[in-house]
Every structure is written in structure tokens, then in C-alpha cells.
Amino acid sequence: MTARAAALLAVLAAATLPAAAAVNQGYPLQAVDISIHNHAALQRGAKYFVNYCLSCHSSRYARYKWVGEDLGLSEEMVRENLILTGGKIGDLMTVAMPEDKALEWFGAPPPDLTLVARSRGVDWLYTYLKAFYLDESRPMGVNNAIFQHVAMPHVLWELQGWQQPVYKENGGANGDRRVIAGFELVKPGLLSEEEYDEVVRDLVTFLAYLAEPAALKRERSGIWVVLFLLLLLGVTYFLKREYWKDIH
Ligand code: HEC
């Protein structure tokens, strides 16, 4: 490698490192293993999403009808379980909360979540939803280990309960900021830790599906394309035999 290339690489590395550190704030991301083909997880995730997230966040590129079809739900089930706003089956999954009001209440507008699994990644989302902690210095009384000064309240507190951060012993080595090593549950929620992890995993599965609903359809049509090509091969073969049978 030439000296110039090495210098360029060093500059690039320096430019990307602080950005990466800002994303998870020194708190390690937890890997999550999900499959958007797991219908049961998707159905549960959709239900949590409409119950706990859709009041503030929209998914304005998805229609209830499409989601129902992709998740194997009848229209009636969609109406009963997913449409909580009195909307119609063909409606987009938007929110009733006006954006200026949201800005006023939270100080930051809740972003549309359609593509968040792509912009943030599933591990980030999984860790984020498990990393809210009590912090009296914040307006909502909560903070987040990988999203410092987040404007979102801990909407799943009833399920998870409340946790307090446990700091690394010599976190001061990283400037003056203390580094969070883990959490301690100070007020239990309705669910055990394992059950809460499952809920978050289902939610992340649904968010991953939202970001790429076409993936499900693409794979399904892939099978038809292959079958069609095989059929075409058969037809072509017999056609060839037919044409050549009198030529010796
Ligand atoms: C009470 C309103 C409210 C509810 C309910 C809510 N959020 Fe939020 N959320 C916010 C606000 C406000 C922000 C913006 C935070 C900021 O920029 O500081 C946010 C930010 C986020 C972000 C970060 C987006 C990004 O890339 O910056 C994610 C992810 C998210 N919310 C997921 C969820 C999920 C999943 C649920 C349901 C379990 C949910 N939210 C429920 C208000 C809400």
C-alpha cells in the first residue's frame, strides 16, 4: 500500500469511528436472531406495534390490508386486532397525532418507522427497546443507553419494569462520561426478563418485515419463476424432438 493510500484510509477510519461510537454510545449492541418468515412472531409483533407504537409513530407506507395478507390474517382478524383507530382495512398505517403537537410534547417528532430496521439495523432496535433506564435529569424521567437524551418515553415500562444503570468502574477513562455496563431492575414489570426479550424480538421481527415486505413476496414469486422455467424447458425439449425427428 502506498503512503498516500494509507493516509487516506487513516482519515476515513477517523471519520467513521466517532460516528459509530455515537450510535451505540459505548454500550454494546445485543445481537438478535429473527426470521421474517416466522408468522407467529410477525403476528404478535404487529399486535404489539399497533398497541404500543402506532399512537406516536406511523408506518405510512404500509396498508393494514397488505400487512394482513402477508401475515396470513383474515380481514376480520385485521379489523379486530390491528385497526384500533376505527380506520378502514385499506388505510395506510398513519397516526392521528399531529406532528406539531408531537414536537411540542416530546421536543422531537416520533419518526415514521417503516424503514427504521434498515437505517438502524435489527440489533440496534433490539438493544434500544431494552435499554431505557430511570434518569431524573431528563424531562420524561428516562434515558436510553444507546440513544442518550432520547425524547421517547419508555412505553413498554409496564411490561419490562424500571431499571437503573450499573456503571463501569473506570468509565472515567473515556473522558468524564460514565459508561454503562448493564442494568439492575429496581421495579419489576408484568413480564420476566426472558418474556420481555421475546416481546422485543417479536416487535423487531415486525419492524424488519415493515422495512422489506417485498422480501416475502419476492421469495414466493421466485418459486413460480423456477417452475415456469422448468416447464418451458420441457416444452422446448419436445419441440426440438418434434422438429428434428424427420432429419437423419
Ligand atoms: C409517546 C409517544 C411514543 C410512543 C408510544 C413510541 N415512541 Fe418511539 N419515539 C418517540 C419520539 C418522540 C422519538 C424521537 C426521539 C428523539 O429523536 O429523541 C422516538 C424515537 C424512536 C426510535 C428512534 C428512531 C431513530 O432512528 O432515531 C425508535 C426505533 C422508536 N422510537 C421505536 C418505537 C417503538 C418500537 C415503539 C413501540 C414499542 C415506540 N417507539 C413507541 C415517541 C414515541
Is 109 among the domain residues? yes
User: Do 72 and 164 belong to one domain?
Assistant: yes
- Please state the atom number of ligand 1 nearest to the C-alpha of residue 149: 18
DSSP symbol at 3: H
Is 164 among the domain residues? yes
User: Do 80 and 162 belong to one domain?
Assistant: yes
User: Do 243 and 175 belong to one domain?
Assistant: no
pTM, rounded to two decimals: 0.80
Burial of 90 (0-12, 13-18, 19+ CB in 10 A): exposed
Is 206 among the domain residues? yes
Which residue do the cell numbers 432496535 mark? Answer: 125
Check pocket membership of 130 for ligand 1, CB cut-off 6 A: no
Q: What is the pLDDT of residue 25?
A: 65
> Residue 68 CB: number of other CB atoms within 10 A?
22
Is 176 among the domain residues? yes
- Sign, CA dihedral 136-138-142-145, equals negative
* Range of the structural domain that residue 244 is part of: 217-248
Per-10-residue mean pLDDT, the chain, length 248: 55 46 70 94 96 92 91 93 88 84 86 94 97 94 94 96 89 64 95 98 97 73 85 92 84
User: Do 85 and 199 belong to one domain?
Assistant: yes
CATH number of the domain at 192, please: 1.10.760.10
Number of folded domains in the chain?
2
User: Do 104 and 222 belong to one domain?
Assistant: no
User: Do 150 and 228 belong to one domain?
Assistant: no
Check pocket membership of 151 for ligand 1, CB cut-off 6 A: yes
